[in-house]
A and B are shown apart, each in its own frame.
Chain A
Amino acid sequence: MNNAFIDRYHTFDFVRGPVVSAPVDVKHGVALYLEEVSVSFDGFKALNNLSLYINDGELRCLIGPNGAGKTTLMDVITGKTRPDSGSVYYGQNIDLLAMDEPAIAQAGICRKFQKPSVFDKLSVFENLELAMNAEKGAWTTLFAELSGPQRDRIDEVLDLIDLSLHRRQQAGFLSHGQKQWLEIGILLMQEPKVMLVDEPVAGMTHQEVERTAELLLSLRGRHSVVVVEHDMEFVRSIAHKVTVLHEGSVLTEGTMDEIQNDPRVIQVYLGD
């Protein structure tokens, strides 16, 4: 803190321009490195020396019983929770622990929450407009006008999430499944490198689940996608590689078949 005042190159947050981080370096093929991360709440170890690597362009499913640390893991990656120890890197060059939530989001890591959280009072279109990958400073937004390509991009995403007909509707009036999709749309608008998707199909009908699976699968290759889900059917339909968390650390990793036949996983899920 003291150094901040002495350092002549230091500027305060409010005079600093938009955070411009160096482009992420993923030439080793890994988008996220989590190494020996521990988080504890009041003595309870939510994450216990967890190490996990997410490859560039990979679609990874995270499963695990309640309290395994899935949501905490996402909190750590997106900057909501500071780990007690360990390191979290985005590519080889960006230290996520040194950044706050907006900086991490702007660097290209986006998140869908467990509970669908869209902006109820804004229209579907406005929801997507806010999420759009553009400069996000206060002055810029005051004078921001949508350009033609930007409108096209929003229309494109509206088509993708099947909400074109509802573009003018207030998001608060959408059905649960539509809200889930709108939130996925919000993720897409941000054009992220890494997408963290927490329980995307909770409360969806069968058809909606299928469409969501299609959507997520179509993202593979362009984005690294991490999906947390309890619905095993859904996980099976999209998963290439599955990671099982248990008591705050990685229990095992593998394909769905390997996982389902692993006696430790069975024990964790079914008990003794």
Chain B
Amino acid sequence: MRLKFFANDSESAAIVAVLAAVTLIIPLCNLIFPPGSPLYFSAYSVSLIGKYLTFALLALSLDLVWGYCGILALGQGAFFTLGGYAMGMYLMRQIGTRGVYGDPLLPDFMVFLDWQVLPWYWLGFDYFPFALLMMLAVPALLAFVFGWLAFRSRVTGVYLSIITQALTYALMLAFFRNEMGFGGNNGLTDFKELLGFNLQADSTRIMLLMSSGTALIAAFLACRRLMQSKLGRVVTALRDQESRVRFLGYRVEMFKLWVFVFAAMLAGIAGALYVPQVGIINPGEFSPLNSLEIVVWVAVGGRGTLYGAIIGAILVNYGKTVLTGLLPEIWLFTLGAVFIVVTVMLPDGLMGLWLRKTGRAGL
């Protein structure tokens, strides 16, 4: 069954195997080996790898939209950040009286702003199931409304890219406002615990890494199933010949819309897993630059392959960690160069190169 499932697709099998290994072995290494051993992974590296995995999930979601539907969404970061804020709000509510002001009812920043009551949209975030629902529902709803308007009126190509960018830009401006009630400039931070587990504890970090890995594998398999169905073929067809698909009787806008919404939900989950691992969420995550960076991850890995997005996200982010550590100045130069080199010389990314080398053309 397993072999048949991955027939003619050794890359997918390999990536699932590697991800599963990472999800299991790194936590083990942290637990088994003593600090100082070359096989030991510190809590810091565990969180770092966990962060990469959430980025990989985010890249995967963009690949659905860009690689398969052909929508170069420059606002995928918005859904990620919204998911992150939903998680952040839950974590804020868990702080309780341990905040600086020790207010039992309000988060610190609201006390600081002299607010008396909790805004209505914060209600319910004390309960994890509700917060979990919001992590999916808020990005999905935004994607649904935006996508419904945009796809129905056939906004395509560059125009669509630009308005998705405007969308995330507008959200950034909005979340910077203190009046919005999301902590303004500073965002949400100083989290204490998640589901009763101390966020500083190694075991919690390991759990988060494992959750991220599991979510990524599950999402990868779901996306793969999606794209191997007839729906996947319709979507691939409409990427290249949208009007032709319409003349076959398919409601193109509905297909795009559902894929867009699904991708937004994946991005939301990624954001929700990201926040407890880095300990902060602020409006900077909405910045158009962040969303463009996601595009680079996917472009580097190779779009339209799913595993390419995962590989690209991890490679680029690893490079970012290394380079900003060595020479902060050089990172933007490198990123800029990567943008240029990939688009001009490697339009199908590293995976495209690999597939061509092994005698198979990309999608």
Contact = CB atoms under 8 A, between A and B. Distances in A.
A117 interface: yes
A144 B250 contact: no
Given A13-B152, A141-B234, A121 B240 contact: yes
Nearest to B259: A138
Interface stretch (B53-61, B114-122, B156-164, B223-231): B223-231
A142 B233 CA distance: 10
A159 B263 CA distance: 39
B250 A102 contact: yes
A105 B244 contact: no
A136 B229 contact: no
Interface stretch (A29-37, A123-131, A225-233): A123-131
Interface residues of B, number: 28
A143 B232 CA distance: 11
A110 interface: yes
A134 to B, nearest CB: 9
A190 interface: yes
B247 A130 contact: no
A130 B248 CA distance: 8
A239 to B, nearest CB: 25
B298 to A, nearest CB: 18
B248 A105 contact: yes
B258 A138 contact: yes
A130 B255 CA distance: 13
B234 A102 contact: no
Contacts of B230: 129-130, 141-142, 144
B272 to A, nearest CB: 25
Interface in A67-91: 78, 80
Contacts of A80: 243
A117 B243 CA distance: 10
Contact of B248 (A121, A131, A142): A131
Contacts of B254: 13-14, 137-138
A101 B250 CA distance: 9
A78 B231 contact: no
27 contacts: A13-B251, A78-B247, A80-B243, A102-B250, A102-B251, A105-B246, A105-B247, A105-B249, A110-B247, A120-B240, A121-B363, A122-B236, A122-B237, A130-B230, A130-B234, A130-B237, A130-B248, A131-B248, A136-B248, A136-B249, A138-B231, A138-B254, A141-B255, A142-B226, A142-B229, A144-B231, A190-B248
